[in-house]
């Protein structure tokens, strides 16, 4: 490939090295010039351009990116069409991402023109999530380099793939002590069920027994009667030794302790055992918290039918420090005190926009129309409150008194937008301004989406991870973008600068590498009700 100044008369098929703008037209950097483009340049009195001209043996950036992506992709991975030298790799389903690091490193070392970036090995991924990207740096690659890249993969069975989560039946055993509140047990059970549901696993049975080894042994025998794929034990007191109460109960039942301890923090005090071929996990105290901890990593591998052995667990230390806050208690302190259940500064807030004038509805305020027997806005806010968000701000404007009355008795904050006739952006600015400073992000919800449920919001919250580049959560249905959207706090200032009625949608395109998409089977994320005709169709479809 040769970069040089080229006469416009000879520029057909040359690749522009710089963007060129004219009166009502633009030819962007990287654009391959066609005959009509050269004509436009000539008519603009442009005689020469600086461009790249491909030589024999050069492979264009898009073709090269597609070729490399095809070469590394295994089962469970789909590819985007290559554009500007980039081809993205997506997960075909919920599961565990696998990457052959040696193969990727060899390929990246072949030539500086070819780069591949992926998620880490064993990452939990959702359907449609980006798991890797191939980027060709120059406009073209020598075919010999491309061939060397392919050969560098050698006989690797795969470079990247996704192992899907499979149905997993679970029996949960809770042990109790007189000092343990019943509410703690019930909350832990509900949290564990949600944790497993995200992996396609189901708690088929819950057993409660005293925190005694004989009772635990009997409960394990009882659990095995239903033939579960996995037994989980949550002790009333955290296990601190192989000879503690819970492991001794497992041994008494005829089980075998395979490994105690795990080089992941939080999660150190997990115990791996088995009874015949049924794996048993004794959960650490941090499993009573919804925050990411070591048990999530182990459950993900089990749900994907990947091996979990003592060698696997002992090898999790590098990258196993999941928190680095000096305010987190030491493990022994946590074992004595138990989790306090309080939320941390990782909390996500919510802003519900309810200030609009419903102009397309005529004299009717759509937010006050009944859905399931209650005003639409109350239906929306109750679903938001039922989700994992830590606080809810409702922005009012038009008919604010009526909207506030419809929301009476709910644990929410109100902010009035006196400039509501200035469009959605004014409400966005008003709401974000009072999101608690402890929140790392906020879900922005429209008040007029009757199908949105707490599960939709929870799915966005579960995958939110700014440290891993997942900073803007966007729900999609069959590739079409919807609402609500979860925004990291880093975007609040930029969102405060928006104007009119378009919100902050432009920030999604401008920060595409920080966007994670959550696919939903239903159309709720696309459905809002703006007109009498839309309400009529909704009423006709609404269950009686």
Domain at 93, CATH number: 3.90.1170.30
Do 205 and 311 sit in the same domain of this protein? yes
26 and 117 both lie in a single domain:
no
Least-confidence region, from 31-35, 41-45, 139-143, 535-539: 535-539
Residue pair 65/135 in contact (Cβ under 8 Å)? The answer is yes
Question: Lowest mean pLDDT: which of 82-86, 216-220, 336-340, 354-358?
Answer: 336-340
Please classify residue 408 by burial: count the beta carbons closer than 10 Å to its beta carbon, then call 0-12 exposed, 13-18 middle and 19+ buried.
Answer: exposed
- Residues with Cβ within 8 Å of residue 367, at least 6 apart in sequence: 354, 356, 358, 375, 376, 377, 403, 406, 447, 448
Q: Residue 426 domain-assigned? A: yes
- CATH number of the domain encompassing residue 197: 3.40.980
The pair of three-digit structure tokens given for residue 218, joined into one six-digit string: 């009997």
Listed in sequence order, the residues at least 6 apart from 326 whose beta carbon sits closer than 8 Å to its beta carbon are none
pLDDT at 323: 62
Indicate the pLDDT class of residue 113, thresholds 50, 70 and 90: very high
Classify the C-alpha dihedral 492-497-502-504 as positive or negative.
Answer: negative
| Number of domains present in the structure of the chain | 4
Give the DSSP letter string of 31-73: PBPPHHHHHHHHHTT--EEEEEEPPTTEEEHHHHHHHHHHHHB
Query: Are residues 250 and 236 part of one domain?
Result: yes
Burial 61-90 (b: 16+ CB within 10 A, else e): bbbbbbbbbebbbbebbebbebeebbbbbb
Output the CA–CA distances (angstroms, integers) from residue 164 to 129, 206, 353, in the order listed. Answer: 13, 26, 37
**Residue 150 shares a structural domain with residue 202:** no
CA 132/CA 263 separation, integer angstroms: 27
The per-residue pLDDT for 342 is 39
Question: What percentage of the chain reaches a pLDDT higher than 90?
Answer: 52
Name the residue range of residue 235's domain: 179-337
For residues 470 and 348, what is the distance between their CA atoms, to the nearest angstrom?
14
Q: Which residue among 304, 337, 370 closes a domain?
A: 337
Tens of pLDDT, residue by residue over 415-463, are 998 888 877 888 888 899 889 888 999 999 999 888 899 999 999 999 9
Query: Is residue 527 very low, low, confident or very high in pLDDT (cuts 50, 70, 90)?
Result: confident
Which residue, 301, 532, 454, 15, is CA-closest to 27?
15
Residues 312 and 362 in one domain: no
Does 537 map to a domain? no
- Higher-scoring residue by pLDDT: 404, 542: 404
Task: Kindly state whether residues 159 and 183 are assigned to the same domain.
Answer: no
Q: Give the Cα separation of 509 and 487 in Å (integer).
A: 13
The reported pLDDT for the residue numbered 2 is: 81
544 in a structural domain: no
Q: Is the peptide bond between 266 and the residue preceding it cis, with omega within 30 degrees of 0?
A: yes
Domain boundary among the residues 15, 31, 53 is at 53
The 3-state DSSP class for residue 151 equals helix
Percent of the chain at pLDDT exceeding 70? 93
| pLDDT, position 344 | 40
pLDDT over 80 (residue 543) = no
Q: Do both 392 and 332 map to the same domain?
A: no
- Same domain assignment for residues 274 and 299: yes
Query: Is 446 a domain residue?
Result: yes
**511 and 404 in one domain?**
yes
Question: How far is it, in rounded angstroms, from Cα 390 to Cα 377?
Answer: 19
Asked whether residue 187 carries a pLDDT value surpassing 80, the answer given is: yes
- Same-domain pairing of 413 and 377: yes
Whether residue 66 sits in one domain with residue 197 = no
Whether residue 522 is contained in a domain is answered as yes
Domain presence at residue 211? yes
Q: From residue 237, give the alpha-carbon distance in Å to each of 175, 192, 284, 495, 508.
A: 8, 17, 9, 47, 46
> Are 221 and 317 contained in the same domain?
yes
Residue 341 has pLDDT above 50, yes or no: no
> What tokens were used for 481?
């973008």
- pLDDT (tens digit per residue) in 272-310: 999 999 999 999 988 888 888 899 999 999 999 999 999
């Amino acid at each position: 490939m040769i970069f040089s100044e080229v006469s416009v008369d000879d520029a057909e098929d040359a690749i522009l090295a710089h963007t060129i703008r004219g009166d009502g037209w633009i030819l962007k950097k990287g654009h391959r010039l066609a005959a009509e483009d050269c004509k436009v340049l000539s008519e603009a009195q442009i005689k020469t351009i600086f461009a790249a001209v491909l030589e024999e043996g050069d492979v264009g950036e898009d073709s090269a990116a597609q070729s490399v992506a095809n070469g590394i992709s295994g089962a469970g991975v789909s590819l985007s069409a290559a554009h500007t030298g980039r081809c993205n790799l997506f997960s075909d389903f919920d599961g565990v991402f696998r990457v052959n690091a040696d193969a990727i490193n060899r390929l990246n070392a072949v030539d500086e023109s070819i780069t591949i970036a992926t998620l880490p090995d064993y990452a939990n991924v959702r359907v449609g999530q980006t798991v890797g990207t191939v980027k060709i740096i120059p406009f073209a690659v020598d075919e010999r380099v491309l061939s060397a890249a392919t050969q560098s993969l050698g006989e690797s069975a795969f470079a990247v793939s996704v192992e899907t989560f499979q149905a997993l039946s679970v029996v949960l055993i809770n042990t109790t002590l007189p000092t343990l509140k019943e509410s703690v047990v019930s909350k832990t059970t509900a949290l564990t069920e949600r944790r497993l549901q995200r992996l396609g696993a189901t708690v088929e049975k819950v057993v409660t027994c005293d925190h005694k080894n004989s009772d635990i042994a009997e409960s394990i025998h009882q659990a095995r009667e239903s033939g579960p794929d996995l037994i989980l034990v949550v002790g009333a007191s955290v296990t601190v030794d192989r000879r503690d109460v819970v492991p001794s109960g497992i041994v008494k039942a005829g089980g075998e302790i395979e490994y105690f301890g795990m080089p992941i923090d939080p999660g150190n005090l997990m115990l791996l055992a088995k009874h015949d071929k049924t794996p048993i996990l004794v959960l650490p105290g941090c499993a009573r918290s919804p925050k990411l901890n070591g048990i999530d990593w182990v459950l993900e591998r089990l749900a994907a039918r990947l091996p979990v052995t003592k060698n696997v667990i002992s090898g999790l230390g590098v990258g196993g420090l999941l928190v680095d806050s000096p305010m987190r208690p030491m493990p022994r302190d946590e074992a004595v005190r138990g989790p306090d259940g309080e939320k941390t500064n990782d909390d996500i807030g919510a802003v519900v926009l309810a200030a609009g004038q419903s102009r397309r509805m005529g004299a009717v305020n759509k937010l006050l129309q009944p859905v399931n027997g209650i005003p639409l806005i109350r239906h929306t806010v109750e679903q938001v409150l039922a989700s994992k968000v830590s606080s809810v701000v409702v922005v009012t404007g038009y008919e604010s008194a009526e909207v506030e009355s419809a929301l009476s008795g709910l644990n929410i904050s109100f902010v009035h937008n006196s400039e509501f006739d200035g469009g959605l952006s004014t409400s966005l600015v008003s709401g974000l301004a009072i999101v608690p400073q402890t929140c790392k992000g906020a879900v922005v919800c429209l008040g007029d989406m009757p199908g949105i449920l707490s599960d939709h919001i929870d799915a966005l919250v579960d995958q939110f991870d700014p440290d891993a580049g997942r900073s803007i959560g966007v729900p999609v249905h069959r590739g079409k973008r919807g609402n609500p959207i979860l925004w990291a706090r880093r975007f609040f200032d930029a969102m405060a600068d928006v104007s009119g009625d378009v919100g902050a949608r432009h920030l999604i395109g401008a920060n595409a590498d920080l966007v994670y998409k959550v696919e939903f089977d239903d159309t709720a994320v696309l459905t809002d009700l703006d007109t009498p005709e839309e309400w009529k169709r909704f009423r006709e479809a609404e269950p009686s």
